[in-house]
Amino acid sequence: MSLLSIIYLFASVTFILGLKMLSHPLTARRGNLVAAAGMTAAIFGTIFLYRDETGHPTGNFAWIFGGLIIGSIIGTVIARRVKMTAMPEMVSLFNGMGGACAALISMVEFNHMAKAASVVPQLSPAELMQAAELAEPSVGKMLIILLGLIIGSVSFAGSMIAFGKLNGSIKDFSFKGQQTFNIVLLTLLVLLAGYLLVNAGSFNYTVFYVLFALSILYGVFFVLPIGGADMPVVISLLNSFTGVAAACGGFLYDNQVMLTGGILVGAAGTLLTILMCKAMNRSLWNVLLGAFGGGAAAAQSEQGGAYKEINLNDAAVVMSYASKVMIVPGYGLAVAQAQHVCHELEKLLEEKGVDVKYAIHPVAGRMPGHMNVLLAEADVDYERLLEMEQANEEFKSCDVVLILGANDVVNPAAKTDSASPIYGMPILEVEQSKLVIVNKRSMKPGYAGIENMLFFQPKTSMLFGDAKGVLQKIVTEIKAL
Amino acid sequence: MDKIIEAISAHEQIIFIVILMIFVGIEVIGRVPSVLHTPLMSGANAIHGVVIIGAIIVMGKAETDNYPALVLGFLAVVLGTLNVVGGFVVTDRMLEMFKKKKK
């Protein structure tokens, strides 16, 4: 066992430990650093200790260190500057970089293999026989190269589209026959890859680059029709794709650390994707085919009828004189970046002796844990955040529930209406409290495209407007009381 | 059939690693509270940046006069580093929010 193998073993262990520690709030931050330390060791170990099959040490130090330094500076600057609300799109961007890296490696390796093969014909007959025997495993190698290229490119293109959708520069887009188009594209990918495999000896560059272009195209059209609010699920899926692409590199170079890191993320990412879908009571298939918005709108339930509004002053009064207020944050809060003013409201109410808690639905904001991160950024005490089960027990004793830009996660149809597309999804049972105030920008249905009967119940009052603006006005009102 | 068994025995070690890692990946994530899903996704994102190792290997063995390979490899190193460094820094920033507040 060489020193490099020991370093790789160490790095693999830090990845596993890191992920494990990331799963507990107290150790999470250290876990991230542990994994980062392992990665650093693996990178420098490879630079200085790696020997290829023929025993040559790593060369081109200037290029390598140049790339490392440039990448580190750009990466740190972007990651430090980004706003907390833009975290999901950052993850998507960096994920895309990893995918592109895997695709580029495949490209260079393809050229490398083609060059090595072009030398073979000048060999003697005996050596040719040997070369023919060696050609058998090269089909395996070709398969890995093609897989790395396809998965990496799809992950790169898909992540870029997801990034664009999250920051609003790319709109949802689909056309008639999109599904068929995607299937045709996928079939073409498989056929071309098959052609290259069968003719592994001929190294057809044109077919290889067409394959690359089609993979990019597929990545674009794979993500384009999926709704913007579903992007976190897509990013999580693409994250596991990139993991598999990295593992392909592990096969290619017989490199244990790439293999363990890649497969670990591939498996964990897939499970995380499924967990996210489960929390929304949808199948992954359903998310990917984008059937949610379209299909559900057709099954439109009866229009709700009358709702009543509450004015800012009344809202301020009810909350100041309540003994217990529960705040339910949702996507609207994240979009309006209202977390700081929300914390201000909470402090103000606490000073008046009101018990204020937050009820966090697992998929509030469509990104598990997103609300917690946002509220933590605004200095909200960790103890005040209740998970769904806890919150559901406490709603009974609440005087006021204030819903900030959440909709589907409080829709009672999930419990009562078996025809509803969200039927079966666990929800926050806000209607058990004495009064519900709903802040929304308009009466428009939420992401699922269905009416929310909660808004029409006698207990419920609507408070229209942007979450940040409304909260600021409430804070002013309370101060003036 | 013989060929398949031959291929499996040739890559025995790799196949062991792959299968065991799939189970480890699932086990490790299975007990995560949903609060930490976002940082966890980000952390996993940084870990698959291990693809940078491949980029370094490609770069390291490229002939010094083979410019296409050098340029592509260089690009791969830059992108891989972005993935690793950006991924870990973003995750750290998210988790910074979770630390206990001092009164």
pLDDT digits (tens, 9 = 90+) for B23-50: 999 888 877 776 677 888 899 999 999 9
Place of tokens 């605004």: A378
Predicted pLDDT at A156: 96
Inter-chain touch B85–A72, beta carbons under 8 Å? yes
Residues 6 or more apart whose Cβ sits within 8 Å of residue A339: A329, A333, A374, A375, A377, A378, A380
Smallest Cβ distance to B36: which of A23, A57, A247? A23
CB proximity A28 to B under 8 Å:
yes
Contact predicate A220/A164, CB 8 Å: no
Q: What is the pLDDT of residue B103?
A: 36
Does residue A146 register a pLDDT over 70?
yes
The Cα A190–Cα B80 span in angstroms is 27
| Cβ atoms within 10 Å of A112's Cβ, excluding its own | 17
Q: What is residue A99's predicted lDDT score, i.e. its pLDDT?
A: 96
Residue B21 to residue A56, Cβ atoms within 8 A:
no
What is residue A132's predicted lDDT score, i.e. its pLDDT? 53
Catalytic residue, candidates A314, A399, A408, A417: A408
Name the residue among B80, B92, B100 with its Cβ closest to that of A101: B80
Whose tokens are 């050596």? That residue is A127
* Angle in degrees, 0-180, between the axes of helices A231-253 and A256-279, rounded to the nearest 10: 160
d(CA A55, CA A398): 71
Rounded average pLDDT over B55-68 = 87
Q: Which of B48, B57, B61, B102 should we substitute to test contact with A (largest number of A Cβ atoms within 10 Å)? A: B48
CA of B39 to nearest chain A CA: how many angstroms apart? 8
Name the minimum distance, in Å, from the CA of A310 to any CA of chain B.
32
Do B82 and A97 count as a contact with CB atoms less than 8 A apart? yes
| Whole-angstrom distance, CA of residue A126 vs CA of residue A129 | 5
Q: Using CB atoms, which residue from B36, B56, B79 is nearest to A369?
A: B36
CA distance A299 to chain B (A): 31
Q: What percent of chain A has pLDDT over 70?
A: 89
Please give the structure tokens belonging to residue A331: 């996507």
**A residues 47-66 lying closer than 8 A (beta carbon) to B:** 47, 50, 52, 56-60, 63-64, 66
Residue A420 backbone phi and psi in degrees, to 5:
-70, 140
* Rounded-to-integer distance, Cα A326 and Cα A358, Å: 6
pLDDT of A348 above 50: yes
> How far is CA A33 from each of CA A152, A294, B87, B93, rounded to the nearest angstrom?
26, 43, 11, 12
**Neighbouring C-beta atoms of residue A334, cutoff 10 Å:** 24
pLDDT at A228: 67
Q: How confident is the model at residue B98 (pLDDT cuts 50, 70, 90)?
A: low
Give pLDDT, residue A294.
40
Paired with A328 in beta bridges are A403
Residue A440 has pLDDT above 80, yes or no: yes
Q: How many CA atoms lie within 13 A of B27 on its CB side?
A: 8
Range name among A205-214, A365-374, B72-81 with the lowest pLDDT average = A365-374
Q: Are A266 and A281 in contact (CB under 8 A)?
A: no
Is the pLDDT reported for residue A129 higher than 60? Answer: no
Is A408 part of the annotated catalytic residue set?
yes
DSSP A328-357: EE-HHHHHHT-HHHHHHHHHHHHHTT-EEE
Residue A311 scores a pLDDT above 60: yes
- Whether A104 contacts chain B with CB within 8 A: yes
A402 - beta bridge partners?
A: A327, A437
Mean pLDDT, range A76-103, rounded to an integer? 89
CA distance A381 to A27: 18
pLDDT of residue A299: 37
Round to whole Å and give the CA distance between A437 and A435. 7
Quick one: closest CA in B to A28, which residue?
B95
- How far away is chain B from the Cα of A327, in angstroms, using its nearest Cα? 17
What average pLDDT does the structure give for chain A? Answer: 84
Which residue matches tokens 């940078």? B52
Distance, C-alpha A149 to centroid of its chain: 22
**pLDDT for position A409:** 84
**pLDDT at A293 (0 to 100):** 42
CA distances from A415 to A219, A420, A453, B34 (A): 37, 9, 12, 22
Contact B79 A367 (CB under 8 A): no
Is the ipTM, as predicted for this complex, more than 0.85? yes
Inspect the interface and report whether the beta carbons of B47 and A35 lie closer than 8 Å. Answer: yes
Nearest to A372 among B23, B35, B50 (CB): B35
Chain B residue numbers with beta carbons less than 8 Å from the beta carbon of A239 are 41, 44-45, 48
Compute the nearest-CA separation of B96 from chain A (Å).
7
Phi and psi at residue A196, in whole multiples of 5°?
A: -65, -35
Contacts of B68 in chain A (CB under 8 A): 111
Residues of A in contact with B64 (CB under 8 A): 59-60
Which residues in chain A (343-382) have CB-CB distances under 8 A to chain B? 360, 362, 367-370, 372-373, 376-377, 379, 381-382
**Which pLDDT value is given to residue B28?**
86
CB A375 within 8 A of CB A345: no
Contact B84 A43 (CB under 8 A): yes
pLDDT score of B64: 83
Given a contact cutoff of 8 angstroms between Cβ atoms, the answer to whether A282 and B68 are in contact is no
Amino acid sitting at position B61: K
Share of chain A above pLDDT 90, in %: 37
On whether the CB atoms of residues A346 and A315 are closer than 8 A, the answer is no
The Cα-based distances of B23 to A18, A151, A260 in angstroms read 16, 22, 11
**Angstroms from B8 CA to nearest CA on chain A:** 12
